[in-house]
Structure 1
Amino acid sequence: MALHVLHFLHQGRAQWGVVADGAITPIPGEFESTAAFIEANPVERLLVLGAPSIRESDVQWLSPVTANQQFICQGANYRQHMIESGLDPDVKKFNMIFTKAPSCIVPANSDVVKPKEVRFLDYEIELGLVLKRNITSRETVTDQNLHDYIAGAVIVNDYSARDIQIPQMQFYKGKSYRTFGPVGPYLCLLEKQDIPKLKELVLTLTVNGTVRQNDTTAGLVYGPAETLTELSGVHDLHTGDLLATGTPSGCALTIPTPEKQRAAAQLPDAEKWRMFLKMQEERQQYLQVGDVVEAFIASYDRSINLGVQHNVVIEEAA
């Protein structure tokens, strides 16, 4: 049985609780990290809690992934997103991995601050997976044992400054500004029988009420099991760490056709990037101050429902 957990602030105290139908059942204990919470609270323990005692409307959301965990990401990992990016999903032979600064993690209803130097602010709804245990050596993860490695799922929005990320070739910098990583609201804790539903989740993102992204996790190119297998051979992962699995098509970013890319390769770098930025200027989809971004992820049967992220784009303070 999937259980939806909320990390929240109530009467000045950070707490965790099981949430259902707008009511919260507090979970006893103090947990200063996502790792500490997961290690102390197997699903079977939470199934025997008492009745709800707090209204969700009376609390302040916190991120279910705390800022002392790693934030690891996959790029170009949905078939249609690869195609719109000028890549062939049937030819690509590598799993693109990068990281975001944990300091960009904020609650799901936080404002997103548009830095003064950023012109092209983009959105990326993603399914986030939270690790259940440490991985400190090379391991083989499969769909059959994935439940041993994944504690639960969250919504992630991988906000990106495209004019920093791409022309400067700065994935980390362009995606790590403070507030560029809303997580939550809910951490859906999963049991073994829930894991197959990770392949049939629907992701939807709207800007000012208009759908920009809509796809299912069936479109993932590199799934969680093979990704964790690969990452296990690279560096240590820990309980509570976050893996964001990539975004579907529909972002504001536009990429030149392969023909234009080949032609641009013959140009000096300054001219090549001037042309790229000119292409982005023509895209009305980039986020502006005042825009409202909402993100939803749920299974078809709604047994997994990760809630709604609601972010307003604001200007950086002087």
Structure 2
Amino acid sequence: MKLATVRAAEGTRAVRVEADRYVDLGFPDVRRLLEAPGWSVLAAADGPALSLDTPLAAVVPEPGKVLCVGLNYRSHILEMGRDLPEHPTLFAKFADALIGAGDDIVAAPESDMVDWEAELVVVIGATVRRADPATAAAAIAGFTVMNDVTMRDWQFRTREWLQGKTFDSTTPLGPVLVTPDELPGGTAPACTISTTVNGDVMQSAETSDLLFTPVDLVQYISTMITLRPGDVIATGTPSGVGHARSPQVFLKAGDKVVTEISGIGRLENSVVSG
């Protein structure tokens, strides 16, 4: 099943994605759908049809938590010159950073080092705390795509990364949530993840390169905090970021960025000046 949040005339709506239409599920967004008891049954119900031309919002427009994992692809850890971590490296974003799959990425004028990071994202579908592996897997509603756009000069001002990670209107999330049963590997998706900038391939990897799996991350994070429906966990980016290139390459106004994960979908965003 594929779910999305669209911008309809009356406001945002949670929809099921069909080949020829969106089906309005009667909730204002995917988070509200996931919060409803028996959401998977509700998501399969019939409803009014909306055109596939209806624009997409962030698949979860206002998650309670946007949790992110740094240094989680072996290839990216090595390109950044670091040792493999024993535990996940965690940071956060705020909902104001999130945009839709086709929205413009706003490059802040305060940064000269705007970078891309393709990421597989876990969307939580059940309240969970101190999960064992089976409970963690069952709490995963599905997966989506994020471009964790980062202001590198701000990120590395201090040892804490938050300030470079959560500039407003920088982070596309979507286009859809895909339930695990539709992906090879289920809750351990075996997918190809990539980024192109102006048609040039910058990142291309397999999600099997992840050091900590989605289930590992739900277990680890739920040890500390309660995860709730609609929370999202960005699982990290593979090698190929602009900061690690020689010479370094960063995004600028007018660039076209495509972030894609096989079996889930693609984000197509233009960069504009803030």
Counterpart amino acid of 2:213? G
1:49 matched to 2:46? The reply is yes
Distance 1:44 1:37, change over 3 A: closer
Residue 39 of structure 1 aligns with which residue? 35
TM-superposed CA distance for 1:53, in Å, is 2.9
TM-superposed CA distance for 1:11, in Å, is 2.2
Give structure 1 regions of 4+ aligned residues with deviation exceeding 6 angstroms. none
TM-score, length-normalised on structure 2? 0.91
> What SS does the aligned partner of 1:97 have?
strand
TM-score, length-normalised on structure 1? 0.79
Residue 306 of structure 1 aligns with which residue? 264
Separation of aligned partners in 2, 1:308 and 1:104: 18
1:65 matched to 2:60? The reply is yes
Q: Structure 1, residues 147-166: CA drift from partner, whole Å, max 9, x if none?
A: 41100111111000000101
Separation of aligned partners in 2, 1:138 and 1:191: 24
Q: CA RMSD in A?
A: 2.2
Residue 27 of structure 2 aligns with which residue? 30
Distance 1:195 1:37, change over 3 A: farther
Distance 1:197 1:55, change over 3 A: same
Separation of aligned partners in 1, 2:49 and 2:60: 23
Question: Which has the greater radius of gyration?
Answer: 1
Pairs within 5 Å for 1:11-160: 11-27=9-25, 29-31=26-28, 34-40=30-36, 42-49=39-46, 53-57=49-53, 59-89=54-84, 92-135=85-128, 137-140=129-132, 142=133, 144-160=134-150
Counterpart amino acid of 2:59? P
1:206 to 171, 174, 196: 196
- Percent identical among aligned pairs is 26
Counterpart amino acid of 1:56? L
Tell me which moved more, 237-246 or 195-204.
Answer: 195-204
Residue 225 of structure 2 aligns with which residue? 235
Distance 1:38 1:82, change over 3 A: same
Q: Structure 1, residues 194-248: CA drift from partner, whole Å, max 9, x if none?
A: 7636330111111001111111110000112222222122222211100000001
Distance 1:48 1:236, change over 3 A: closer
1:252 to 235, 238, 242: 242
Tell me which moved more, 236-245 or 40-49.
Answer: 40-49
> What SS does the aligned partner of 2:121 have?
strand
TM-superposed CA distance for 1:253, in Å, is 1.1
Distance 1:198 1:119, change over 3 A: same
Conserved? CA contact 1:131–1:152, under 8 Å: yes
Residue 276 of structure 1 aligns with which residue? none
> What SS does the aligned partner of 1:250 have?
coil
Q: Structure 1, residues 288-312: CA drift from partner, whole Å, max 9, x if none?
A: 11110001112xxxxxx32221111
Counterpart amino acid of 1:43? S
How many pairs were matched up?
273
Residue 263 of structure 1 aligns with which residue? none
Separation of aligned partners in 2, 1:192 and 1:308: 16
Q: Structure 1, residues 81-133: CA drift from partner, whole Å, max 9, x if none?
A: 011011233xx312101101221011111111111110100000100111111
TM-superposed CA distance for 1:20, in Å, is 2.6
Separation of aligned partners in 1, 2:105 and 2:45: 38
Conserved? CA contact 2:115–2:242, under 8 Å: yes
Residue 287 of structure 1 aligns with which residue? 251
